[in-house]
A and B are shown apart, each in its own frame.
Chain A
């Protein structure tokens, strides 16, 4: 019973309610009239997923053939019959050294995903071993006032996901702490609103790349003489500045469009400014503020990849870029793995925000 409830909560949280229906089908709980509903909610999504992978597989295959034919023909023209035959045999044997470089098939992506996980396990083990080996040495070094020796090997894929999440949350918090208070002030004062309006209108559409360059110019100068790696600082500030606009605009709108009845009540009761803001204006604009924050988080996650790539800050963006530059046999498949990971994490972040929004919002029907 408890397990069912948990499953229900989890699938509802993920927006994947059809899992429950599927379970009901197997346990024979489904009524006849629910069959139509079941078809729509379960069979259709499953069929569309299968169709997606099928089309992807076929597309990858035909791209593979185009690339392979071209390669063989080129070998024939440049190096003659024997070289072409050898290449053909090599391709047919599945040897990775001579595979055409094109869109990977779903199965290649899956095996790349597994190899990335294996790689992570190897690196984790390596790290643990390193920590164990250096533990005693580090202790003496610290007691002598020297810096501890740290692991400087390459990060695993999972490490990079973790790093990306850190960057996005730091950027999100920065956006939150700038945009919400600023939005409240702008929303409350028509004077501030006209003072800031041009600023918002002009800077809102600026591309993440340009924000990155701007932050780079400023942070580079501010951190002059510091030995620390500033790429994380630069990338999270850029992410924050790119993504804060939705929250700023929504907070301003929420605060300036509080229901007139509530404002009248506040006036009749002669509430002080502090009370008016915290008891009336903020709670009533929370739904809009959260809608803004939800957009901010998804924008932050989206621009993060581009910014990490530019800033050379470790994370998924840099991972994608390095794999692209690397051009190894499974690089393309790894890029597609990263694409799915980015998509799934983005989706989970969105769900997380929706859950928080439903939790804090007074109007349960308001959340979109």
Chain B
């Protein structure tokens, strides 16, 4: 599903092919991260086990400094694993790669490139056999999806923070990753923009159904987006403290979620965890 052969037409490159669920996409086994310090080893994570199913959206919540970001960057392959293993579809990961797309906390766009060029940077890499026009179409398709059809040729440095993060979302989806990793992508935005971007994210996600792991500090965001909310204990030696299933139907709207009877039960569960 990730890399589709080049001879297919653009439409096929974009459209998703549906797979049976319940298959484990991302498997973290006995994960451990140790930073050696002069005063001895500092264990950030230990005995961390988590299985994420295909097409599942998981949000991870926990106190600052509990190792959420460390875990995510280990999944991305940007941070070496001290012990245990991380596998994607049963295959252990070896360093970073485009099968795991990342949306960083800061948009991390190349400021000297236009939004289109920024998205193309990834697309060119993942679809080397597609024609130039096809690759451009893919990039434009995703930029349209995030509402940037008027800003293809704007330099990233000229865009607002929220617009930049939209490009970040487009760039991540356009490379058709198996797993999407989101490291507090809306943490730096004001609440209004954050709401807009959550809607955009969930709208694309509903269509693409890419397995997603997202770190957040925001309890409402965690509930609104996720199938499961994973709560991490505070570090050092952080691990999974609790997992909460969110049984709202998809596609969801903010209104229907807020009006659902279970919403406040879920919210209370999460807040109780965080306050203890």
Contact = CB atoms under 8 A, between A and B. Distances in A.
Interface of A: 259, 261-262, 264-265, 267-271, 275, 279-280, 283-284, 286, 362-363
Interface in B117-151: 121-122, 125-126
Contacts of B100: 268
A253 B97 CA distance: 27
B162 interface: no
Chain B interface main SS type: loop
B104 A267 contact: no
Interface of B: 76-78, 95-98, 100-102, 104, 106, 108, 110-113, 121-122, 125-126, 155, 157, 175
A261 B155 contact: no
Nearest to B168: A265
Contact of B96 (A268, A275, A362): A268
Given A267-B96, A269-B98, A269-B121, A362 B175 contact: no
B143 to A, nearest CB: 17
Nearest to B124: A275
B98 A270 contact: yes
Given A261-B104, A264-B78, A270 B110 contact: no
Scoring A268, A279, A286 by chain B CB atoms within 10 A of each residue's CB, the highest score goes to A268
Chain A interface main SS type: helix
Contacts of B122: 269
A360 to B, nearest CB: 9
Nearest to A280: B110
B101 A284 contact: no
Contact of B108 (A261, A271, A279): A261
B108 A262 contact: yes
B102 A362 contact: no
B158 to A, nearest CB: 10
Contact of A268 (B76, B110, B113, B155): B76
A269 B168 CA distance: 13
Contacts of A267: 77-78, 95-96
A264 B106 CA distance: 12
B157 A268 contact: no
A270 B104 contact: no
A363 B98 contact: no
B104 A264 contact: yes
B49 to A, nearest CB: 25
Contacts of A265: 102, 104, 108, 110, 121
A269 B175 contact: yes
